[in-house]
């Protein structure tokens, strides 16, 4: 297909089938659409169904410029449609056929609005190869931290130089990789591909070759961060533009709170906002571990008892698969004892929760979206990373930005109720955490406001799309 000229620009965006990747990609799409450029977001059918059924009304009234399309999942009837790992295996097999078919269909239906540009999540770098073949411009998008992107780009060298083995683990004689003195280092189990105790799936994540190829192939590279949050990492690859925090760009520009809550895979339980309204300012501990983290029932018992022991009001997101894929059970009598001061929901409107004045701090798994969302609200953190880039985000939070504390494991790899209570008390009693967090809030707000670094980068990109 020849390069497309004379058409109205039309962007096609492809996210990977994970909550923490779809949401920021959707924010990016909406920003582009707001500037009058047509955008089509493509998701696997299962993911699309989840988004639409969680927020049908909200998606239906989206701007005329923003539409969603689907490609088949490639799952068999025996496959678990909720398994990210499964979709990460099937889609790279089926999409090289189904995506060009979709693009051909869209182009056929809109002869004056053929797809002129494809934005792909860097983890699906092969999408950009398809884009090139179809004459579209190529843009790579990296939803996690800039540091995560940087370590992925260094991976081939780290392997070649014998620092990292074929499973993605540090060689025996090495305890940490550093890219610069200013960027927190990576220990074993802190890499973006790390899944402690699950080598099989770690190998699936470790296949980072795609990001590397995509980064080389893409004409533009965008990252969901802002320069001021990670200047040292951004300086390593000045060809990638930090354009985030994208959820903040959305609320800053549109003044529509609900937009930053779009793209959820689960229905939002808004009853917690009404519950928060009844609580005094800065009195509630918000506890949430994102969409993928799971824990043993024993660990969940300790968390429940730790929250109870803290004696403070808490809002806890307990997904229905949080207990290693099963419905969590609570210790005997727990629900009755905490009824007065505790609230449990299956999925919260997180951005609105974090904006609520009643929230005092965030007990988080440190997924990058949750990190950006809390940081941009000026909240102190208690860190409880589960896998992938989360332990590195924890280092930013605790060591670099100094806005939170780690909740440490004991010798049995359990975070005990006593440790949980102790850290809640510490983070709320030492004012430096809140003070530092408020400074970062300001930094993020400036970056996405007119004239700020992320604002300018996003405008540069959008202006380019118009040409
Ligand atoms: N989230 C939400 N409600 C919840 C829990 C999470 O809306 O109850 C959102 C959260 O705001 C974030 C995303 O889900 O945008 C999770 O992404 P993150 O990178 O934090 O973690 P992941 O799910 O990828 O582990």
Contact 41/68 with Cβ under 8 angstroms? Answer: yes
For residue 212, what pLDDT band results from cuts at 50, 70 and 90?
Answer: confident
Q: Which residue in 92, 107, 100 sits closest to 130, CA to CA?
A: 100
Does pLDDT of 170 surpass 60? yes
Q: How far is the CA of 96 from the centre of ligand 1 (A)?
A: 29
For residue 2, what pLDDT band results from cuts at 50, 70 and 90?
Answer: very low
Using CB atoms within 10 Å of the CB of residue 445, give its burial: 0 to 12 exposed, 13 to 18 middle, 19+ buried.
Answer: middle
For residue 267, what pLDDT band results from cuts at 50, 70 and 90?
Answer: very high
Q: How far is the CA of 174 from the centre of ligand 1 (A)?
A: 33
Query: Does the Cβ of 347 fall within 6 Å of ligand 1?
Result: yes
pLDDT in tens, 215-243: 888 999 999 999 999 999 999 999 999 99
pLDDT value of position 3: 42
pLDDT value of position 433: 98
What mean pLDDT value characterizes the chain? 92
Q: How far is the CA of 258 from the centre of ligand 1 (A)?
A: 15
CATH code, 269-429? 3.40.50.2000
Query: Does the Cβ of 290 fall within 6 Å of ligand 1?
Result: yes
**Alpha carbon nearest to ligand 1 atom 5, residue:** 290
Q: Mean pLDDT throughout 87-113?
A: 95
Q: Mean pLDDT throughout 126-136?
A: 93
Q: How far is the CA of 291 from the centre of ligand 1 (A)?
A: 6
Query: Does the Cβ of 393 fall within 6 Å of ligand 1?
Result: no
Query: Does the Cβ of 192 fall within 6 Å of ligand 1?
Result: no
**Three-state SS at 184:** coil
For residue 133, what pLDDT band results from cuts at 50, 70 and 90?
Answer: very high
pLDDT value of position 60: 45
pLDDT in tens, 143-167: 999 999 999 989 889 999 999 988 8
Query: Does the Cβ of 348 fall within 6 Å of ligand 1?
Result: yes
> Could you tell me which residues come within 8 angstroms of residue 357 by beta carbon, excluding any fewer than 6 positions away?
281, 282
Q: How far is the CA of 370 from the centre of ligand 1 (A)?
A: 6
Decide which of 3.40.225.10, 3.40.50.2000, 3.40.50.1820, 3.60.15.10 is the CATH code for 10-254+447-466: 3.40.50.2000
Q: How far is the CA of 25 from the centre of ligand 1 (A)?
A: 13
Query: Does the Cβ of 148 fall within 6 Å of ligand 1?
Result: no
Q: Mean pLDDT throughout 271-292?
A: 98
**Three-state SS at 296:** coil
Q: How far is the CA of 195 from the centre of ligand 1 (A)?
A: 18
Does pLDDT of 256 surpass 60? no
Compute the distance between CA of residue 32 and CA of residue 9 in angstroms, rounded to an integer. 11
The lowest-confidence range among 100-104, 243-247, 260-264 is: 260-264
Query: What single string gives the DSSP state of each residue in 101-163?
Result: HHHHHHHHH-TTS---EEEEEGGGTHHHHHHHHTT-EEEEEE-S-HHHHHHHHHHHHHHHTTS
Compute the distance between CA of residue 296 and CA of residue 414 in angstroms, rounded to an integer. 9
**Three-state SS at 75:** coil
Every domain of the chain and the residues it spans: 10-254+447-466, 269-429
Torsion angle of C-alpha atoms 365, 366, 370, 374, degrees rounded to 10: 110
Does pLDDT of 288 surpass 60? yes
Does pLDDT of 375 surpass 80? yes
Q: How far is the CA of 18 from the centre of ligand 1 (A)?
A: 10
Query: Does the Cβ of 20 fall within 6 Å of ligand 1?
Result: yes
Q: How far is the CA of 39 from the centre of ligand 1 (A)?
A: 23
Token digits for 223? 């990252």
Query: Does the Cβ of 224 fall within 6 Å of ligand 1?
Result: no
pTM beyond 0.85: the answer is: yes
pLDDT in tens, 402-413: 999 999 999 999
pLDDT in tens, 415-459: 999 999 999 999 999 999 999 999 999 999 999 999 999 999 999
Query: Does the Cβ of 368 fall within 6 Å of ligand 1?
Result: yes
For residue 59, what pLDDT band results from cuts at 50, 70 and 90?
Answer: low
Query: Does the Cβ of 352 fall within 6 Å of ligand 1?
Result: no
Q: Mean pLDDT throughout 74-84?
A: 90
pLDDT value of position 1: 35
pLDDT value of position 213: 76
For residue 198, what pLDDT band results from cuts at 50, 70 and 90?
Answer: confident
Ligand 1, from 363, 369, 375, 388: best to mutate by most atoms within 8 Å of Cβ? 369
For residue 214, what pLDDT band results from cuts at 50, 70 and 90?
Answer: confident
For residue 293, what pLDDT band results from cuts at 50, 70 and 90?
Answer: very high
pLDDT in tens, 319-371: 999 999 999 999 999 999 999 999 999 999 999 999 999 999 999 999 999 99
pLDDT value of position 206: 81
Query: Does the Cβ of 27 fall within 6 Å of ligand 1?
Result: no
Query: Does the Cβ of 291 fall within 6 Å of ligand 1?
Result: yes
The alpha carbon of residue 173 and the mean position of all alpha carbons in its chain are separated, in whole angstroms, by: 32
Query: Does the Cβ of 443 fall within 6 Å of ligand 1?
Result: no
Query: φ, ψ for residue 257 (rounded to 5)?
Result: -60, -40
Does pLDDT of 301 surpass 90? yes
Fold: same for 10-254+447-466 and 269-429: yes
Q: How far is the CA of 190 from the centre of ligand 1 (A)?
A: 19
The lowest-confidence range among 54-58, 135-139, 289-293, 430-434 is: 54-58
For residue 399, what pLDDT band results from cuts at 50, 70 and 90?
Answer: very high
């Amino acid at each position: 297909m020849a390069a497309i000229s004379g058409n109205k620009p039309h962007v096609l965006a492809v996210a990977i089938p994970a909550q923490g990747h779809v949401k920021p990609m959707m924010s990016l799409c909406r920003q582009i659409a707001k500037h009058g450029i047509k955008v089509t977001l493509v998701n696997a059918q299962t993911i699309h169904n989840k988004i639409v059924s969680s927020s049908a009304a909200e998606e239906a009234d989206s701007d005329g410029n923003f539409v969603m399309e689907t490609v088949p999942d490639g799952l068999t009837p025996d496959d678990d449609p909720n398994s990210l790992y499964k979709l990460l295996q099937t889609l790279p097999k089926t999409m090289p056929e189904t995506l060009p078919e979709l693009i051909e269909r869209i182009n056929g239906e809109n002869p004056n609005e053929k797809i002129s540009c494809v934005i792909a999540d860097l983890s699906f770098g092969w999408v950009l190869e398809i884009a090139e073949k179809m004459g579209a411009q190529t843009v790579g998008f990296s939803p996690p931290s800039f540091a995560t992107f940087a370590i992925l780009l260094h991976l081939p060298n780290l392997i070649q130089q014998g620092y990292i083995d074929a499973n993605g683990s540090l060689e025996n004689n090495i305890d940490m990789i550093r890219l610069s003195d200013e960027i927190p280092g990576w220990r074993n189990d802190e890499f973006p591909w790390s899944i402690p105790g699950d080598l099989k799936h770690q190998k699936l994540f470790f296949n980072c070759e795609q990001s590397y190829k995509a980064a080389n192939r893409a004409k533009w590279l965008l990252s969901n961060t802002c320069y001021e949050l990670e200047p040292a990492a951004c300086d390593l690859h000045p060809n990638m533009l930090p354009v985030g925090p994208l959820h903040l760009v959305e609320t800053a520009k549109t003044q529509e709170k609900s937009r930053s809550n779009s793209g959820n895979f689960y229905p939002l339980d808004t009853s917690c906002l009404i519950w928060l309204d009844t609580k005094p300012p800065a009195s509630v501990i918000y506890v949430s571990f994102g969409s993928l983290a799971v824990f043993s029932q024993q660990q969940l018992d300790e968390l429940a008892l730790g929250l109870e022991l803290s004696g403070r009001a808490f809002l806890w997101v307990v997904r229905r698969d949080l207990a290693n894929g099963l419905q969590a059970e609570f210790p005997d009598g727990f629900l009755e004892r905490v009824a007065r001061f505790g609230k449990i929901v299956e999925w919260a409107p997180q951005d609105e929760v974090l904006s609520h004045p009643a929230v005092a701090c965030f007990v988080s798994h440190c997924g990058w979206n949750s990190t950006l969302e809390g940081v941009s609200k000026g909240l102190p953190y208690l860190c409880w990373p589960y896998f992938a880039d989360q332990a590195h985000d924890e280092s930013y939070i605790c060591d670099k930005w100094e806005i939170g504390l780690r909740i440490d494991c004991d010798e049995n790899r359990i975070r005990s109720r006593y440790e949980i209570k102790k850290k809640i008390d510490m983070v709320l009693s030492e004012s430096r955490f809140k003070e530092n967090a408020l400074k970062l809030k300001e930094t993020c707000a400036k970056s996405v406001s007119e004239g700020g670094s992320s604002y300018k980068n996003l405008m540069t990109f959008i202006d380019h799309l118009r040409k």
